[in-house]
Amino acid sequence: MSDRFLFLGPPGAGKGTQAQVLAADRGLLHLSTGELLRAEVQAGTELGAEAQSVMARGELVSDALVLAIVRARLLSHDGGWLLDGFPRNLAQAEALSQLLQELNQPIEHVVLLQLDDGILLQRLLSRGRDDDNEAVIRNRLEVYREQTEPLIAFYRQLGLIREVEAEGDVQAVAGRISSVVS
Binding footprint of ligand AP5 on the chain (CB under 6 A): 9, 11-17, 33-34, 37, 54-55, 58-61, 66, 85-86, 88, 92, 123-124, 127, 140, 169-170, 173
Q: Which helix (H) or strand (E) holds 21?
A: helix 15-26
Shortest gap between Cβ of 112 and ligand AP5 (angstroms)? 11
Q: How far is the CB of 67 from ligand AP5 (least distance, A)?
A: 8
Q: 42 to each of 48, 93, 99, how far by Cα in Å?
A: 7, 27, 28
Q: Is 162 a catalytic residue?
A: no
- Backbone φ and ψ for 4, nearest 5 degrees, come out as -135, 110
Identify which of residues 54 and 100 has a Cβ nearer to ligand AP5 in the complex. 54
For the sheet containing 81-84, what is the strand order?
29-32, 81-84, 4-8, 109-114, 161-165
Q: How far is the CB of 32 from ligand AP5 (least distance, A)?
A: 6
Look up 4 and say whether it is catalytic.
no
How far apart are CB 106 and ligand AP5 at their closest, in Å? 19
Q: Catalytic pick from 4, 57, 73, 88?
A: 88
d(CA 62, CA 69): 11
Q: Is 73 a catalytic residue?
A: no
Query: Among 38, 123, 140, 176, which one carries the catalytic annotation?
Result: 140
| Residue 34 vs 74, nearer CB to ligand AP5 | 34
User: 38 in helix, strand or coil?
Assistant: helix
Amino acid at 99: L
Q: Which residues are known catalytic residues? A: 15, 88, 127, 129, 140
